[in-house]
Structure 1
């Protein structure tokens, strides 16, 4: 049986579902992290989104604290913090506090997009041009998390000296170039924007400059995986995610819906084309199909790590999906390579 030779991690959005509520979504995230820890997943990240009724992780650092307090070994972090929405100093304080409370377990992935609409950006009191300063903001944040320098008059407390591992996240060549230039690990958002995946990975690896955090490229690839005992059941469960993406194309902001029997009765051909393009980096099926799909993605990308999204409506069946993924991937059985050890000791 083929075994996935890389770590697997989980991206959590705190999805709010029809018939449930926001508290349940946050508690499900914590339960999912506890389960993932037992299964051998490497990281459990939550993402910053605003003004999205179906996403409960807007206050990302607070959700990380909620999850980390309920676990003991799995790395917990942001996938990511949309840095243009925040002052780097405040993020240094927040993640320095997390690193102080949960030492050696906190990751900080950084994105350049606002993670919301322009009207909400105004409510955040942020200038849309703030994204232009993203590279400088990353360096400023990194400095606040580093050791205090002689003559430094502003210190992040907690924060200074914690050296929380930074990641650059993105879905374009810009993020790949910046991660390479700064010598940071790179996560590509192929779970919803896979178009530039292969080119971005080439740009990152070809341009990588070693840094104090990382001595060689380390690339994480996002992938949707919905696993069930059979291909037919997995395809049925996947309709919840397909409806969510169809709603996104429509500009709708509804809660996650239970799966349906015929997705083609829900979306139009145009909506299907758009949603399917965004979901192109997906593996849906029974154990053999999932194993083959993951292996094919690794062969294609040579990823050092996969960040898995398993958007299943029923919490018990979502847990089962991660069980199947862990089983076919042989989690806990792959030995660390020197490159992986370097990346994960600091990141």
Structure 2
């Protein structure tokens, strides 16, 4: 069992990954279906992402997708991992998520990130040059004012309870979360870095409670479970391959079948990048995944695990989600 005890939560992040040979809109329907299965398996939260003009990801509007997910589920909490706040006005984000909270009371979370866009053309389309002043902390504070009805303007609809806010963070973002008394979500390279312990210690030490808030650390990572370690690494290959190819082409593409990827001719650089990418994924048999999660828990004392695995084979992905839920039950 994940050793932080029975209070640890297991949640799922789905990026609405497109798949080679299928219409991109199908990825959105797959996200809804995955949420229904996640609720059935006992996951605490189901989050969706925001990426603009990325060929491999169909979700650019989390609030719209969450409305669809909410109609097909009844108990699981729903949220964004995350809304990229520099791309929006805080009032508009507040209105979108208050509408979701009005439609699905007590089930909505708001994760906030600070990405400016995947490529320079996307940043230009979003009217972001990249040299604007950093207003992330101020924008979060303004947004929270709308959600908590302490701002000069009352965002509608008025809900019974504020929508919880989370900060998706690396580096300085961790400091922002601590200063504002908000939960923090950590993932990606920061989990492998030597500075992780220092970041988490600083977050817990410098945390300034907002109301009755307490430090809360969510660890986000790709996790896939199969019968054997080798089988799970094959499941992880399509996502890793898409990232490797993006380093070559500048475009993060749809998931491809494993057999097609294996039939390609790789050079030494591709092979090295694939190997390192697979090593970074928590992929393996149930025993292997349990062991790696225990090691991660020891390093982070995490309160929550946000799993974000993806693969081309949807049946295998559904089986992996179910096995992961059983592991942490």
Given the two structures, how large is their TM-score scaled by the length of structure 2? 0.91
The number of residues matched between the two structures is 325
Q: For the residues of structure 2 that align with 1:161 and 1:117, how far apart are their CA atoms?
A: 40
Quote the Cα distance in structure 2 between the aligned partners of 1:200 and 1:45. Answer: 24
**Paired residue for 1:292?**
291
Is residue 47 from structure 1 mapped to residue 49 from structure 2 by the alignment?
Answer: yes
SS of 2:27's partner is helix
Distance 2:212 2:116 in 1: 26
Alignment of 1:31-46 (within 5 A): 31-46=33-48
Shift of 1:271: 4.3
Cα distance between partner residues in 2 of 1:2 and 1:157: 40
Residue 231 (structure 2) aligns with = 233
Q: Distance in 2 between matches of 1:185 and 1:25?
A: 29
Matches of 1:129 and 1:274, distance apart in 2? 31
Change (3 A) 1:156 1:124: same
Moved more, 191-200 or 65-74: 191-200
The TM-score normalised by the length of structure 1 is 0.86
1:189 paired to 2:187: yes
Question: What are the residue-to-residue correspondences of 1:1-347 with 2, within 5 Å?
Answer: 5=5, 6-130=8-132, 132-148=134-150, 152=152, 154-158=153-157, 162-170=161-169, 172-190=170-188, 194-195=192-193, 196-212=195-211, 214=213, 216-250=214-248, 251-260=250-259, 267-273=266-272, 281-330=280-329
Of 66-75 and 241-250, the range deviating more from structure 2:
241-250
Residue 213 (structure 1) shift = 5.3
Kindly indicate whether the alpha-carbon contact (under 8 Å) linking 1:95 and 1:159 is maintained by their aligned counterparts in 2. Answer: no
> What is the alpha-carbon distance in structure 1 between the residues aligned to residue 150 and residue 21 of structure 2?
50
What SS does structure 1 have at the residue aligned with 2:18?
coil
Change (3 A) 1:71 1:177: same
Corresponding residue SS for 1:53: coil
Distance 1:114 1:242 in 2: 23
Counterparts in 2 of 1:281 and 1:218: CA distance versus 1, 3 Å: farther
Q: Is the 8 A contact 2:17 2:58 kept in 1?
A: yes
Counterpart CA distance in 1 for 2:2 and 2:125 is 49
Indicate the larger mover: 123-132 or 177-186.
Answer: 123-132
Q: Cα deviations across residues 170-198 of structure 1 (Å, max 9, x unaligned)?
A: 2x221110100110000012378743533
Alignment partners' CA distance in 2, 1:321 and 1:306? 15
Q: Distance in 2 between matches of 1:4 and 1:29?
A: 29
Q: Say if 1:13 and 1:47, in contact at 8 Å, map to a contact too.
A: yes
Superposed CA RMSD in Å reads 2.4
Contact 1:226 1:285 in 2 (8 A): yes
Contact (CA 8 Å) 1:79, 1:169: kept in 2 or not? yes
Q: How far is 1:14 from its partner?
A: 0.2
Kept in 2, the 8 Å contact 1:223–1:283? The answer is yes
